[in-house]
């Protein structure tokens, strides 16, 4: 795992908001339908009213391709209801953007390969709002047996972008994040340059089986 832009270590990291989870479980659409724009954005019930959430598919040069990810129900590893890039060969983005005076912490997220098949050599990175790479897990093998759990634990006062692809047979689920007010002694790095606050980084692999055919 490559890391870039370690900045100020947080001395008083008292994150008061509870964690929110994007797991797509309450979506009732069909396979290949787009994840709704702003799904889980500014989610008061989830404890993150000051975090905007957006989704998009981009080319490998990060040119816009579509303003959404697509939904799928089963067999991306053992995950249920996941999001994947809307066209093969492109990259999927999940964008977490805090309001002014707040910061976002990206705790973890899951990846799985379809149809219970490992997707080798994939791009998996965390970017800031200007496209600088903060964490780079690439080349990454997205498992088809169970799922991967990545725990970047990044905190930033600017956007954090989860980027994954390029095979649309790799999908994301269970994105755990939280918000906190920016106070003295509790501040992540600002967006721009090369930087978000890296609190910790870890990678875990879990394996269980299920099956699908697309």
Sequential pLDDT tens for the chain (214 residues): 544 443 333 333 444 457 899 999 999 999 999 999 999 999 999 999 999 999 999 999 999 999 999 999 999 999 999 999 999 999 999 999 999 999 999 999 999 999 999 999 999 999 999 999 999 999 999 999 999 999 999 999 999 999 999 999 999 999 999 999 998 767 666 554 333 444 333 333 333 333 333 4
Question: What is the number of structural domains in the chain?
Answer: 1
Whether residue 173 lies inside any domain: the answer is yes
Residue pair 158/78 in contact by the 8 Å Cβ criterion: no
Q: Which residues contact 35 (CB under 8 A, 6 or more apart)?
A: 24, 27, 55, 68, 69, 70, 71, 83
Whether residue 20 lies inside any domain: the answer is no
CATH number of residue 39's parent domain:
2.60.120
Whether residue 18 lies inside any domain: the answer is no
Whether residue 21 lies inside any domain: the answer is no
Full domain range(s) for residue 57: 2-12+27-206
Whether residue 161 lies inside any domain: the answer is yes
For the full predicted model, state whether its pTM sits above 0.85.
no
């Amino acid at each position: 795992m490559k890391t870039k832009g370690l900045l100020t270590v947080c001395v008083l990291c008292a994150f008061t908001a509870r964690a929110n989870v994007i797991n797509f479980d309450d979506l009732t659409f069909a396979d290949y339908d787009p994840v709704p724009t702003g799904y889980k954005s500014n989610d008061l019930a989830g404890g993150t009213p000051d975090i905007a959430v957006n989704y998009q598919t981009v080319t490998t040069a990060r040119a816009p391709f579509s303003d959404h990810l697509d939904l799928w129900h089963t067999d991306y590893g053992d995950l249920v209801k996941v999001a994947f890039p809307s066209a093969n060969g492109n990259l999927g983005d999940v964008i977490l953007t805090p309001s002014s005076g707040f910061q976002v912490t990206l705790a973890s997220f899951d990846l799985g390969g379809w149809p219970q098949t490992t997707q080798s050599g994939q791009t998996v990175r965390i970017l800031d709002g200007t496209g600088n790479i903060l964490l780079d897990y690439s080349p990454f093998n997205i498992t088809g047996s169970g799922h991967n759990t990545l725990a970047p634990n990044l905190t930033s006062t600017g956007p954090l972008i989860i980027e994954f692809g390029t095979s649309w047979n790799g999908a994301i689920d269970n994105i755990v994040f939280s918000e906190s007010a920016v106070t003295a002694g509790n501040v992540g790095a600002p967006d721009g340059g090369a930087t978000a606050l890296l609190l910790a980084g870890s990678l875990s692999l879990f394996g269980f089986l299920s099956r699908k055919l697309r």
